[in-house]
């Protein structure tokens, strides 16, 4: 049934986006260089033709650069889009396309047909011809009422944080998950008891702001199936939770279901961190689709080359957002505030965050306005900020990312821990730095260990199981002839590339996985665990599974029973970290708090040692002393143990060489080493001792 035409009035230029008020809906849109703007209203999400088109008269419906209109009688559930006319002058950076149907950048929900076409509007070709898609995504006016039941931010202190990185869909889409709502926000709720059992208290979700899964055109060369954007690092709607992670019970249900998930996680004591992508958009390079920003004001939203027909590409994805243009800064801040205030998230991880520190010419600046504004914004003042402190333009700012509030993914930690346990010579000094919170990277700028997000694996690269099973990446299924993905993996296969029935090799692999995870949870800084590593999830050697929406990427929960030994170990390590607060203090170790030694008990030769021991002395606040013994070599090593007062003794709490059940002991059941003056640490293993009384 056709909806009768709506009457409309001038409307208000603020706030930006769409909001309901008595009698109708107010729509706003930014465009500085537009000459004509049309609001398109649709009866149904799947409609290709609007039921009504309202032209916004610039004399009445424009205030400054904001176009606005109040549509009388419009209600929640209304679907809409825009068309914008303006100069098509590529040499000036203007790419207005009058036929393009544009998605509102501020829309808080997207509704789309299935499948969503690669271009949901049109692409202007060099000969001037226009290709218009038959199906496209639209904005949806949603109902803002939700019963949060007095939900509040958890405001966990940084030192207590234990982060679990996961993909919303991948977590529960595999049949082995047994989820009632597989691959959805509601499916995550079904895994909350598991997360609590494991012991994590924060979950970092890979991108869930609206993106188009069907934008890729390449095919898997083996199965001939079309590849998809599984990871979601190509945002289209920055305010909108991804529709595909909702149940689709009704248009816009993804918003309520996201909030339901957040509320449930908070009730379980788990914070929510979002991986956000403000460095580029899904519009790609000069040959990409026009989705919204390009058709609204290309020269403002993007960094352009001197030849303005082309884009600066510090993201490696075709374009770079002009983050430090005042208009774009405000957009990003509005977006972050929305996710905090309306969606109750606890923090953000910023993809390729170095780009946020580039000025309007693309140069890195010492005090980037956007980074400072995010850190000092009154609404965002208590949320957690995590930077991926590099970009594809060559900026690598780990340890140098501007602002004390910003924590960073510590890429040095990842590479150094991998290298140490692989057995690379002379890594003892580097291990000591990483174990102590990376003071060499952070202390000089007044930062602390909590500014270091420590990780051994993440979504981008090998899983832990693959890190100890493959020497080379195996990405042929991505359709790029194995040219994609990182080559510097610092991995080792221990004799066989990939799966093997050799029990000895499998035992070494399991032990090495334990070694790296144990090191992670023994290190000062914030530990981040890649979801599934705790039970041996594998991607079969693919270290760039961005396009694999299949069993390559999904969590196979059958592995949990198969690899229960590893799960129990990780669970025990998390509990051990929580019991021993000295491991997670906000400051760096003082010189009198820690003593380093080699196997003979003497001070190490830092650049020429492989094995390493350290004694963390009992603290003034009652923390017991600890002793770590690291042996990354293929030989058994005898360590001289630190001397203790006559009324004290060492207790063995962790031994990664030992069999299941003896690799880690719960509090109060550690093994007494009374009378021991030395201890043999087996090849490729780690021993942790705690201090006890005779």
DSSP 245: G
Query: What H or E segment, with its residue span, contains residue 412?
Result: helix 411-422
Q: Are 140 and 128 in contact (CB under 8 A)?
A: no
Is the preceding peptide bond at 15 cis, omega within 30 degrees of 0? yes
Q: Is 688 helix (H, G, I), strand (E, B) or coil?
A: strand
Instruction: Read off the tokens for 331.
Output: 């957009």
Q: Going by C-beta distance under 8 Å and a sequence separation of 6 or more, which residues neighbour residue 513? A: 464, 465, 467, 468, 533, 536, 566
Q: Taking the chain, what is the end-to-end CA distance rounded to the nearest angstrom?
A: 84
Return the structure tokens found at 521. Answer: 């949870």
Instruction: Write b or e for each residue in 403-413: b if 16 or more Cβ atoms lie within 10 A of its Cβ, otherwise e.
Output: bebbbbbbbbb
Burial class (CB in 10 A: 0-12, 13-18, 19+), 511: buried
* Residue 37 CA to its chain's centroid (Å): 36
Give how far Cα 270 sits from Cα of 263, 363, 501, 533, Å.
10, 38, 38, 19
Answer yes or no: 351 catalytic. Answer: yes
One of 104, 351, 408, 466 is an active-site residue; which one? 351
List, in order, residues 6 or more apart from 90 with CB less than 8 Å away: 286, 308, 309
Token pair 């904001």: residue: 66
Q: How far apart are CA 237 and CA 282, in angstroms?
A: 10
151 is annotated as an active-site residue: no
Q: Is 330 helix (H, G, I), strand (E, B) or coil?
A: helix
Q: Which letter, b or e, does each residue of 76-108 get, where b requires 16 or more Cβ atoms within 10 Å of its Cβ? A: eebbbbbbbbbeeebeebbbbbbebbbbbbbbb
Distance from C-alpha of 496 to C-alpha of 471, rounded to nearest angstrom = 9
Q: How far is it, in rounded angstroms, from Cα 167 to Cα 244? A: 13
Q: What is the 3-state secondary structure (H, E, C) of 356-382?
A: HHECCCCCECCCCHHHHHHHHCCCCCC
Long-range contacts of 217-221 (CB under 8 A, 24+ apart): 217/118, 218/478, 218/479, 218/480, 218/547, 219/479, 220/477, 220/478, 220/479, 221/476, 221/477, 221/479
Q: Which of 104, 388, 593, 609 is catalytic?
A: 388
Of the candidates 8, 21, 110, the one whose C-alpha atom is nearest the C-alpha of residue 68 is 8
DSSP class of residue 443 equals G
| Interatomic CA distance for residues 350 and 380, integer angstroms | 14
Catalytic annotation, residues: 351, 388
């Amino acid at each position: 049934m056709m909806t009768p035409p709506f009457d409309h009035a001038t409307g208000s230029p603020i706030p930006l986006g769409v909001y309901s008020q008595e009698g109708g809906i107010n729509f706003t849109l930014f465009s500085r260089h537009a000459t004509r703007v049309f609001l398109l209203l649709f009866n149904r999400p799947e409609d290709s033709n609007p039921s009504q088109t309202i032209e916004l008269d610039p004399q009445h419906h424009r205030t400054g650069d904001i176009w606005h209109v109040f549509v009388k009688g419009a209600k929640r559930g209304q679907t809409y889009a825009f068309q914008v006319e303006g100069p098509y002058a590529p040499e000036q950076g203007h790419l207005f396309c009058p036929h393009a149907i544009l998605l509102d950048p501020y829309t808080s929900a997207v509704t789309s047909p299935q499948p969503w076409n690669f271009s949901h509007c049109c692409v202007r070709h060099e000969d001037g011809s226009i290709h218009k898609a038959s199906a496209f995504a639209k904005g949806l006016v949603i109902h803002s009422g939700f019963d949060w039941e007095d939900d509040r931010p958890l405001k966990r202190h940084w030192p207590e944080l234990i982060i679990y990185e996961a993909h919303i869909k991948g977590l529960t889409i595999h049949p082995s998950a047994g989820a009632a709502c597989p691959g959805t926000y509601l499916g995550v709720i079904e895994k909350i008891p598991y997360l609590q059992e494991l012991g994590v208290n924060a979950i970092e979700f890979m991108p869930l702001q609206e993106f188009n899964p069907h934008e890729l055109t390449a095919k898997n060369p083996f199965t001939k199936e079309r590849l998809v954007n599984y990871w979601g690092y190509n945002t289209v709607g920055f305010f909108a939770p991804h529709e595909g992670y909702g149940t689709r019970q009704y248009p816009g249900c993804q918003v309520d279901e996201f909030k339901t998930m957040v509320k449930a996680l908070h009730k379980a004591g788990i914070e929510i961190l979002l991986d956000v992508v403000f460095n580029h958009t899904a519009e790609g390079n000069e040959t990409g689709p026009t989705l919204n920003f390009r058709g609204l004001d290309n020269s403002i939203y993007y960094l352009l080359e001197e030849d303005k027909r082309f884009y600066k590409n510090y993201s490696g994805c075709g374009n770079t957002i002009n983050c430090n243009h005042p208009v774009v800064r405000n957009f990003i801040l509005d977006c972050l505030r929305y996710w905090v205030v309306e969606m109750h998230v606890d923090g953000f991880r910023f993809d390729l965050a170095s780009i946020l520190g580039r000025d309007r010419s693309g140069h890195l600046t010492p005090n980037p306005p956007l980074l400072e504004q995010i850190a000092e914004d009154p609404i965002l003042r208590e949320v957690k900020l995590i930077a991926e402190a590099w970009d594809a333009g060559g900026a690598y700012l780990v340890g140098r990312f501007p602002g004390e509030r910003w924590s960073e993914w510590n890429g040095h930690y990842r590479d150094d821990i991998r290298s140490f346990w692989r057995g690379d010579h002379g890594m003892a000094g580097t291990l000591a730095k990483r174990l102590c919170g990376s003071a060499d990277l952070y202390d000089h700028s007044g930062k602390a260990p909590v500014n270091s997000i420590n990780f051994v694996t993440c979504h981008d690269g090998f899983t832990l199981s693959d890190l100890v099973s493959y020497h080379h990446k195996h990405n042929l299924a991505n359709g790029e002839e194995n040219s994609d993905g990182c080559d510097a993996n610092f991995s080792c296969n221990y004799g066989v590339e990939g799966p093997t029935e050799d029990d000895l090799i499998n035992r070494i692999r399991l032990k090495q996985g334990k070694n790296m995870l144990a090191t992670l949870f023994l290190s000062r800084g914030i530990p981040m665990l890649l979801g599934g590593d705790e039970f041996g999830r594998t991607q079969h050697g693919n270290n760039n599974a961005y396009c694999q929406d299949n069993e390559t990427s999904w969590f196979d929960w059958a592995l949990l029973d198969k690899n229960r030994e590893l799960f129990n170990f990780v669970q025990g390590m998390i509990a051990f970290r929580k019991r021993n607060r000295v491991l997670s203090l906000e400051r760096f170790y003082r010189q009198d708090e820690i003593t380093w030694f080699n196997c003979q008990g003497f001070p190490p030769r830092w650049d020429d040692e492989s094995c390493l021991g350290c004694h963390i002395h009992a603290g003034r606040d009652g923390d017991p002393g600890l002793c770590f013994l690291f042996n990354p070599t293929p030989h058994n090593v005898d360590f001289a143990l630190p001397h203790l007062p006559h009324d004290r003794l060492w207790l063995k709490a962790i031994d990664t060489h030992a069999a299941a059940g003896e690799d880690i002991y719960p509090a109060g059941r550690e093994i007494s080493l009374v009378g021991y003056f030395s201890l043999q640490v087996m090849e490729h293993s780690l021993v942790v001792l705690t201090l006890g009384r005779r």
